[in-house]
Amino acid sequence: MSKMIKINFRDLEVKEFEAGTKLKDISDAFSHYFNYPILVGKIDNDIVELNEPINRSYKVDFYDRSSGLGNGIYGRTAQFLLIVAVKKLFGEDTEIVIEHSIDKGFYCEIIGVDLDKPIVDRIQDKMYEISKMDLKIQKMSVSRFDAIKYFEKKKQIDKVHALKYISNTYVNLYRIDDIYDYFYGELAYTTKDIDDFKLTYIKNNGFVLSYPTTYNPECTLDYVHHEMLFNKFLDYTNWGRMINITNAAELNNVVSMGKYDELIRLSEVYYNNQLVEVANKICDNKENIKIVLIAGPSSSGKTTTSKKLQVYLQSKGIKPHQISIDDYFVDRDKTKVLPNGELDTESLSAVDVTLFNKHLTKLLDGEKVELPEYNFVLGKREYKGKFLEVGKDDVIIIEGLHALNEDLTMSIDRRQKFKIYISALTQLNIDNHNRIHTSDTRKLRRIVRDNKYRGKDASETLKMWRGIREGEEKYVFPFQDDADYVINSALVYEIGVLKVYAEPLLFNVDENDDSYPEALRLINFLRNFLPIPSDQVPKDSVIREFIGQSSFNKE
């Protein structure tokens, strides 16, 4: 008689199975709890792919594409479908490069193929054909050296170089039909589970792969082109190609030769040149521009950027004054209460917009205004004799979550405002098929900063991250197209520096902690990078805002 095991799903239902049953078959028994195909399981806080046999009783959980974990797997597997489709249509030697995220999708290019909309439509049709074939995605563990030899034979040199810097004895390869590839994250069990996606042709001989998100898991929304953001990504990508740093291996090669100091200087110049350009634009229109507004997602480097911009403006003869939106929060007892009982401190309703606009109008009219200071301990505004008067050639700099929202400064003519959207838009990939999540750079920045300045451990920051992202989706991203300029605060070398600070914090996350799987993912991600000492990082660098010793911080 076969040994039986008991599987407890979320304490909702317990079922018996024969020992050795694949997790896929077990997940099918609980699929009625989900709206979409189950993509992965979690057992004892370990992420387990559905092709794994289960030999003892466990409490398990499952995830579909509506979850953050499941959505990441959905996206990676959709990329694999795309790679397979391209190779089936144009030959196995055809190489596709998955560049970066844009509007909840991935921008992609195919080397040596002149794309147009009909060709992109053919690729999409081929992807759906592969999806409907219900091909099992095979996972195999091979020695790293054998994987290197395989990719050398296939002339996929990007993967050869990437694997050179991984210390693992074995790596996982995945196979769909006769196409093998390497991914540093889990994939779905079968191609049929990836049943909703879109390819959108855009200029510059590329296209965007879009798929359902955690915010809209029902279907794939149409791609919305953000011209300024796209051009900033493209500019940074071209700059990376110019200095021969487009992926982790190329960065590691520079670090291994001890030449990271030159790379740091190059990266800082690229970032500073953006501030020069912004200062010039403001100076060229200083008769009209009176307010500079800066907004971006969490850990984009808004504070350092605003401080450095003030210096550049002063060098142009423009006197800047900074006003904090936080000082205009409504008193705590007047703050809107959310359905869960928490105070709504993120929406625009948390700001006394009327008073804020009244003060801005008076300042632009040449009047002297007493500015409030918000006492976060008492939860109310206070006045302590802090007066401000703005001169003819002065500008007001406002940095904050809602800065790009016209409702924040509704009383001020749009022509008097210069809006800046800032984010860390990394152009680096692990290799041609393994991109770096734009939000991962910001997440690592936030982990390091929260620990250094706010006493939070990595687990606390990771638990907060979904709420942070939801706030960005509501209050930042919808207004990015109204910006007059996009600043990219990503530094090509920074992941190597962040690794030194973030890795120990991530290793400190307990194996039983709910954040452990995400901490482990980030640890595995950081293994692709050699550490870079911070001794050569300038004191006014944006990365100093997070790792410390910034010339703009009082420490």
Give residue 166's pLDDT: 85
Report how far Cα 261 is from the mean position of its chain's Cα atoms. 26
396 C-beta neighbours (distance < 10 Å), count: 22
Q: In Å, how far are 133, 171, 375, 417 from 168, measured between CA atoms?
A: 34, 7, 51, 52
Give pLDDT, residue 554.
65
CATH 3.30.980.10 intervals, the chain: 71-224
Cβ atoms of 555 and 549 within 8 Å: the answer is: yes
Residue 417 phi/psi, 5° resolution? -115, 140
pLDDT of residue 136: 97
* pLDDT, tens digit, 9 for 90 and up, residues 468-484: 998 999 999 999 999 99
- Number of neighbours of residue 346 by Cβ within 10 angstroms: 17
C-alpha closest to that of 184 among 159, 208, 207: 159
Rounded Cα gap, residues 181 and 176, in angstroms: 9
Judge whether 39 and 195 are in contact, CB under 8 Å. no
What CATH code is assigned to 4-64? 3.10.20.30
Amino acid at 498: L
- The tens place of each residue's pLDDT in the chain, 555 residues long, gives 578 999 999 999 999 999 999 999 999 999 999 999 999 999 989 999 999 999 999 999 999 999 999 999 999 999 999 999 999 999 999 999 998 888 888 999 999 899 999 999 999 999 999 999 999 999 999 999 999 999 999 999 999 999 998 888 899 999 999 999 999 889 999 999 999 999 999 977 899 999 999 999 999 999 999 999 999 998 999 999 999 999 999 999 999 999 999 999 999 999 999 999 999 999 999 999 999 999 999 999 999 999 999 999 999 999 999 999 999 999 999 999 888 888 888 899 999 999 999 999 999 999 999 999 999 889 999 999 999 999 988 999 999 889 999 999 999 999 999 999 999 998 889 999 998 888 999 999 999 999 999 899 999 999 999 989 989 999 999 999 999 999 999 999 999 999 999 999 999 999 999 999 999 999 999 999 999 999 999 999 999 999 999 998 765
d(CA 522, CA 520): 5
User: What size, in residues, is the chain?
Assistant: 555
Write out the DSSP string of 493-553: THHHHHHHHHHHHHHTS-TTSTTHHHHHHHHHHHTTS----STTS-TT-TTHHHHS--TTS
Query: Residue 238, Cβ neighbours under 10 Å: how many?
Result: 11
| DSSP tag of 250 | H
What is the predicted pLDDT for the residue at 204? 73
CB 77 within 8 A of CB 188: yes
Tokens at 532, concatenated = 């870079």
* Torsion sign (Cα): 167, 168, 170, 171: negative
Q: Which residue type occupies 335? A: T
CA proximity to 156, closest of 429, 427, 433, 428: 433
- Reduced to 3 states, what is the DSSP secondary structure of residue 237? helix
Return the beta strands (E) in 241-298 as ranges.
291-295
What's the pLDDT score for residue 203? 78
- Long-range CB pairs of 271-278, under 8 A, 24+ apart, other chains included: 271/488, 271/489, 271/491, 271/542, 272/308, 274/485, 274/487, 274/488, 275/305, 275/308, 275/309, 275/312, 275/487, 276/312, 277/485, 278/309, 278/312, 278/418, 278/420, 278/485, 278/487
Q: Are strands 105-110 and 96-102 parallel, antiparallel or unpaired?
A: antiparallel
Q: SS3 letters for 21-85?
A: EEHHHHHHHCHHHCCCCCCEEEECCEEECCCCEECCCEEEEEECCCCHHHHHHHHHHHHHHHHHH
- What backbone torsions phi and psi does residue 253 show, to the nearest 5 degrees? -60, -40
CATH fold for the domain made of 71-224: Threonyl-tRNA Synthetase; Chain A, domain 2 (3.30.980)
Decide if 416 contacts 492 (C-beta within 8 A): no
pLDDT of residue 338: 86
Contacts of 493 (CB under 8 A, 6+ apart): 251, 260, 263, 264, 267, 532
pLDDT at site 435? 86
Positions of CATH 3.10.20.30 in the chain: 4-64
